[in-house]
Amino acid sequence: MSDIRYDILANDLEKQGLNVDEIRNNLKKQHIETPSWGYGNSGTRFGVFHQEGAARNAAERLEDAATVHKYTGVSPTVALHIPWDQTDNWDGLQQYAAELGIGIGAINPNVFQDQIYKLGSVCNPDSSIRRTAIDHMLECVDIMNITGSKDLSLWFADGTNFPGQGDFRQRKHWMEEALKEICDALNDNQRMLIEYKFFEPGFYHTDLTDWGTAYVMAKKLGSKAQVLIDLGHHPLGINIEFIVAYLIDENKLGGFHFNCKKFADDDLTVGSINPQELFLIYNELVAAELDPEVETDIAYMIDQSHNLKPKVEASIQSVCNLQTAYAKALIVDRESLAEAQAAGEIIDAEQILQRAAETDVRPLLEQVRLEMNLDPNPLTAYRKSGYFEKISKARVGGESQGWA
């Protein structure tokens, strides 16, 4: 028997001419990839805060990711970070993931943490260091081939801190040469996702500073290269939803690293500071998704530092926030919105968006979860499961991989 709250909401949506069955089906197909590094003890700019039950190795991170999927139903893959998730048995790790009911998602090389990368990786003035960075990324392509991953997610800390430290054009050429070699190593079912960052750790310039520089690189490399948007990697006040729409129209939006910021790359829980921005981003994503003339293949991934919140709980909360934003975008009355836009009715167009943004979609999401044989409240169900108590007792001692 459905909830009376859901019946009221569904009736209201149907009066707007929306197909509620289609909305529920789209919500069931949502795919949010969680990051392995979100389950272990991770670093801030100032230190590492250890938590009870934090995953110590790749296998334990897979277990946590599978738990998030168990309670949300829409997180069937986990992104890996190399070397933090390094193993001598990739076949075995893939098999363990399958036994847990999840798959391996994007592979993220680390070319920023080692001491040799003090002056950069693929833009380092030392050719041997540039070669080391490229070889590491090629190793990650090999890992993709073993695990079945189709996305190589690249972020570079390369940049400079002082005028005159580097030659901008020469560094651009080094970046192009490196990315071309890596892109050529990918098979036809794989792609490279190029991430950018406005600043930090390079405070004078970064070699991939914004969506434009990432787009130029992806354009030069061809169909196997696309842009990845991290919500924390922009100047304050930037219109991210415009960037989303522009890259979709250019067929160059490949993926997201969802998080939230207040000032800089804060890596806070997605939707926690500015849920309106998240809704407006999803509004553009859904507009493209529902357009029969547009083809999209976007990897939706979370990239956050759960340094204060319990790891698994924070991941569940993040996934639920993304479900909420997606649901609100799905219930936008797009026919009326198009009419208002065409007529230049600015207030009407804005109010159509606000009606969806202010709608309580919890009854809709609860109904979808019930139809997926899930508890309607994932976080409550997780807390009752005893999983945290179990891992807190089991995960004592040993050395952690990653920042810790």
Residues 263-320 pLDDT 10s: 999 999 999 999 999 999 999 999 999 999 999 999 999 999 888 999 999 999 999 9
**Per-residue pLDDT, 305:** 87
**Rama region for 40: left / alpha / beta (φ>0; ψ in -120 to 50; rest):** beta
Instruction: Say yes or no to pLDDT of 211 above 90.
Output: yes
What the block records as the tokens of 204 is: 């004078």
- For residue 233, CA distances in Å to 209, 256, 266, 270, 292 come to 9, 11, 9, 13, 31
- For residue 277, CA distances in Å to 228, 283, 296 come to 17, 10, 21
Residues 355-383 pLDDT 10s: 999 999 999 999 999 999 999 999 999 99
One-letter amino acid at 198 equals F
**Per-residue pLDDT, 356:** 98
**Per-residue pLDDT, 403:** 60
Residues 59-115 pLDDT 10s: 999 999 999 999 999 999 999 999 999 999 999 999 999 999 999 999 999 999 999
> What residue segments make up the domains of the chain, in order of their start?
30-330
Mean pLDDT of the chain: 96
What the block records as the tokens of 365 is: 């999401």
**Per-residue pLDDT, 65:** 98
Largest pairwise CA distance in the chain: 69
Q: Is the domain 30-330 a CATH 3.20.20.150 member?
A: yes
Residues 132-153 pLDDT 10s: 999 999 999 999 999 999 999 9
- Burial code (b: 16+ CB inside 10 Å, e: under 16) for 167-197 equals eeeebbebbeebbeebbebbeeebbbbbbbb
**Per-residue pLDDT, 85:** 96
The whole-model pTM stands at 0.97
State the CB neighbour count (10 A cutoff) for residue 379: 16
